C-alpha cells in the first residue's frame, strides 16, 4: 500500500491464529521442505501488512516515513505528533516478529527431518566416494609400479643405449678413417716410386686421383663424421697422416701439370720444327699423368682453386720466360727467329694443356666413385654433349676465353714497355730495332700463327696477332 489509513490493525491474537492456520504442516512427512515452509496466499490475505510494498525493489524508507507522518498528523497543526506513527511502526515490527516465530515453530519438525535425511544421504555419498578414492589410490600405486618406475628405468636404459650408439658410431668412423689412412699410405708409396710406368707400377696416375678423392672426403667431413675432435687418435690422424698426404698429393699433381710439355722448347729454339698440334704428339704416358694431376688438383681445392692456381702459375712462368728471351733478342736480332720459335712452342704447350683439360669431364658431385674418376682420366676424345669439362670452370675463374689468349695478351702487355725502354735509351740498338720494325712485327705475327696451330677459332688468331704486333707499334712512330 502507498499510504496507511487510520483504521486500527486487527488484534494480534487473530493475526497469530490465522498465520498458524495458514502455515500448518502437511499430513505426509515425506513432503518437500519448501511446501511446508513456504507461505501461502492465505498468509498474505490474513495480514494487514502491505508485503508487496516492503518487498518492492523501489521501496524507500524516507518516502514511507513521510507518508506515515503526514497521514497521522494535521498538516495545518504546528505541533507534530510522532507517537502514533512510531506505534504503528512498532506494531508492524511486532507483526513481522510474530510471523517469523510462527513459521519457525510450525516448520521445526520438517526441518529436522530434512536435515537428518540430508545428513544420512551425505554419509552414504561419502562412503561411496571414499571407496572410489581408495580404488583410485590402489590403481595409481599399481600404475606407478608398472609404468612410472619402469619408465624411469627405460629412460636410463635409453640413455645408455644412446651413449653406446654414439661410441659405436665414433669407433666405426675412426676405423674407417684408419682404413683411409692406410689406403693413402699405399697410394703415396705407389706415387713415390717414380713417374715412369713399368711393370708393377701401372696405374700411377690413377693412384694420384684416388688419393685426391680420399683427401677430399676427409676434408668435407664424410670421413670422421660426428667424431669428437678431442679424440687423441683423430688428432694424430689429421696431423700425422691426412695433412702431410694432402700436401704431398697436391705437390705431385702440380708437378704433373707443370711438366706437361709435349713440345720441347729447347729443341724448337735449337732449330727444330715448332709447328703442329702439340697435344697430338704428346705421349700417352705424359697425357695420362697430366690429366690425373689436373683432376687431382680440382678435387683437392674448393671450386677448383688449386687447379686454377697451378695453371695460372704455369702461364705466368711461360710469360716471364718469353719476355726475358724476347727482351734479349730486341738487342740481338740475330736470335729473334729462334726466340720467337721458343715463344710459339710455349704457347703450343698451353694449347695442348687446354685441349687436355677440355677432354676431362667435370665430376658431377663430390662423391664420385673411383671407377668414374679413373674413366674421366682415361677418356679419349671430347666430353659428351651436355656435360662440362675441367676447362669450363677454369676459364671462368681466370676470366679469359682461352689459355693461349691469356698468354699472348700477357706477353704483349709486358713486351710493349720493354721495347719502349730500348727505344728511349737510344743508341745503336734503338736504331737497329727501329730499322727492323717490319721484321719484328712479321716475327711476332709468325709466332702467334705457329703458337695457335690447332685452335679452331680463326678470328681469335687474328685478334691475338693484332695484340702482339700492337706491342711493337712504338717502332713505327
| Confidence (pLDDT) at 199 | 42
CB 191 within 8 A of CB 157: no
CB distance 211 to 249 below 8 Å: yes
- HSE on the CB side for 296, CA within 13 Å? 31
User: Average pLDDT for residues 390-394, to the nearest whole number?
Assistant: 89
pLDDT in tens, 109-119: 888 889 899 99
Per-residue model confidence (pLDDT) at position 125: 95
In this predicted structure, which of 54-58, 316-320, 321-325, 365-369 has the lowest mean pLDDT? 365-369
Q: What is the mean pLDDT of the chain?
A: 77
pLDDT score of 420: 85
Q: Give the pLDDT confidence of 5-40 residue by residue, as tens digits.
A: 333 444 333 333 333 333 333 333 343 344 344 444
C-alpha grid cell for residue 472? 711493337
CA of 273: how far to CAs of 261, 276, 381, in Å? 15, 8, 26
DSSP state of 427: S
Lowest mean pLDDT among 162-171, 271-280, 330-339, 422-431: 271-280
Query: Contact 216/304 with Cβ under 8 angstroms?
Result: no
373 pLDDT band, cuts 50/70/90, is low
Q: What was the pLDDT predicted at 54?
A: 85
CA–CA dist 97, 378 (Å, integer): 122
Q: Which three cell numbers stand for residue 195?
A: 713417374
Collect all residues with Cβ–Cβ distance below 8 Å to 259 and sequence separation of at least 6.
286, 289, 290
**DSSP-derived secondary structure letter, 241:** I
For the stretch 48-68, what's the b/e string if a residue is b when 16 or more beta carbons lie within 10 angstroms of its beta carbon? bbbeeeeeeeeeeeeebeebb
CB-CB neighbours of 465 under 10 Å:
19
Contacts of 428 (CB under 8 A, 6+ apart): none
Residue 166 DSSP symbol:
H
Buried b (16+ CB within 10 A) or exposed e, 416-447: beebeebbeeeeeebeebeebbeebbebbbbb
pTM for this model (two decimals):
0.62
pLDDT given at position 7: 37
Q: What are phi and psi of 361, to 5 degrees?
A: -65, 140
- Average pLDDT on 359-369 reads 69
Sole residue written with cell 670421413: 223
Q: How far is CA 61 from CA 49, 56, 57, in A?
A: 15, 12, 12
The closest alpha carbon to 472, from 442, 432, 429, belongs to 442
Mean pLDDT of 42-60: 76
Amino acid at each position: 500500500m502507498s499510504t496507511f489509513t487510520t483504521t486500527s490493525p486487527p488484534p494480534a491474537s487473530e493475526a497469530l491464529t490465522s498465520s498458524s492456520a495458514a502455515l500448518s504442516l502437511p499430513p505426509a512427512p515425506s513432503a518437500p521442505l519448501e511446501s511446508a515452509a513456504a507461505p501461502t496466499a492465505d498468509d498474505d490475505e490474513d495480514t494487514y501488512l502491505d508485503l508487496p510494498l516492503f518487498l518492492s525493489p523501489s521501496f524507500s524508507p524516507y518516502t514511507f516515513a513521510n507518508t506515515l507522518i503526514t497521514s497521522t498528523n494535521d498538516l495545518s497543526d504546528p505541533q507534530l505528533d510522532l507517537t502514533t506513527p512510531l506505534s504503528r511502526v512498532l506494531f508492524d515490527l511486532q507483526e513481522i516478529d510474530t510471523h517469523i516465530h510462527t513459521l519457525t515453530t510450525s516448520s521445526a519438525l520438517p526441518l529436522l527431518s530434512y536435515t537428518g535425511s540430508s545428513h544420512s544421504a551425505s554419509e552414504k555419498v561419502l562412503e561411496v566416494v571414499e571407496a572410489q578414492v581408495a580404488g583410485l589410490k590402489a590403481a595409481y600405486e599399481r600404475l606407478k609400479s608398472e609404468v612410472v618406475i619402469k619408465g624411469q628405468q627405460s629412460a636410463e636404459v635409453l640413455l645408455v643405449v644412446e651413449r653406446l650408439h654414439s661410441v659405436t658410431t665414433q669407433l666405426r668412423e675412426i676405423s674407417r678413417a684408419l682404413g683411409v689412412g692406410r689406403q693413402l699410405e699405399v697410394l703415396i708409396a705407389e706415387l713415390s716410386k717414380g713417374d715412369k710406368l713399368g711393370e708393377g707400377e701401372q696405374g700411377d696416375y690413377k693412384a694420384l686421383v684416388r688419393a685426391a678423392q680420399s683427401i677430399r672426403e676427409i676434408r668435407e667431413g664424410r670421413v670422421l663424421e660426428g667424431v669428437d675432435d678431442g679424440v687423441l687418435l683423430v688428432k694424430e690422424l689429421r696431423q700425422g697422416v691426412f695433412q702431410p698426404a694432402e700436401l704431398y698429393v697436391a705437390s705431385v699433381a702440380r708437378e704433373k701439370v707443370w711438366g706437361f710439355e709435349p713440345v720441347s722448347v729447347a729443341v724448337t729454339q735449337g732449330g727444330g720444327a715448332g709447328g703442329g698440334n702439340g697435344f697430338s704428339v704428346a705421349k700417352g704416358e705424359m697425357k695420362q699423368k697430366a690429366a690425373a694431376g689436373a683432376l687431382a688438383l680440382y678435387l683437392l681445392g674448393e671450386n677448383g682453386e688449386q687447379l686454377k692456381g697451378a695453371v695460372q702459375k704455369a702461364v705466368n712462368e711461360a710469360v716471364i720466360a718469353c719476355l726475358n728471351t724476347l727482351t734479349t733478342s730486341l738487342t740481338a736480332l740475330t736470335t729473334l727467329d729462334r726466340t720467337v720459335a721458343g715463344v710459339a712452342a710455349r704457347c703450343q704447350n698451353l694449347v695442348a694443356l687446354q685441349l687436355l683439360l677440355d677432354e676431362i669431364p667435370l665430376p658431377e658431385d663430390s662423391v664420385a666413385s673411383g671407377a668414374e674418376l679413373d674413366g674421366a682420366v682415361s677418356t679419349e676424345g671430347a666430353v659428351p654433349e651436355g656435360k662440362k669439362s675441367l676447362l669450363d670452370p677454369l676459364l671462368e675463374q681466370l676470366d679469359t676465353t682461352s689459355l693461349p689468349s691469356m698468354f699472348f695478351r700477357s706477353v704483349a702487355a709486358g713486351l710493349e714497355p720493354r721495347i719502349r725502354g730500348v727505344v728511349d735509351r737510344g743508341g745503336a740498338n734503338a736504331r737497329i730495332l727501329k730499322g727492323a720494325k717490319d721484321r719484328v712485327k712479321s716475327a711476332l705475327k709468325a709466332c702467334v700463327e705457329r703458337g695457335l696451330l690447332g685452335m679452331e677459332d680463326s678470328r681469335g688468331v687474328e685478334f691475338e696477332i693484332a695484340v702482339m704486333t700492337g706491342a711493337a707499334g712504338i717502332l713505327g712512330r
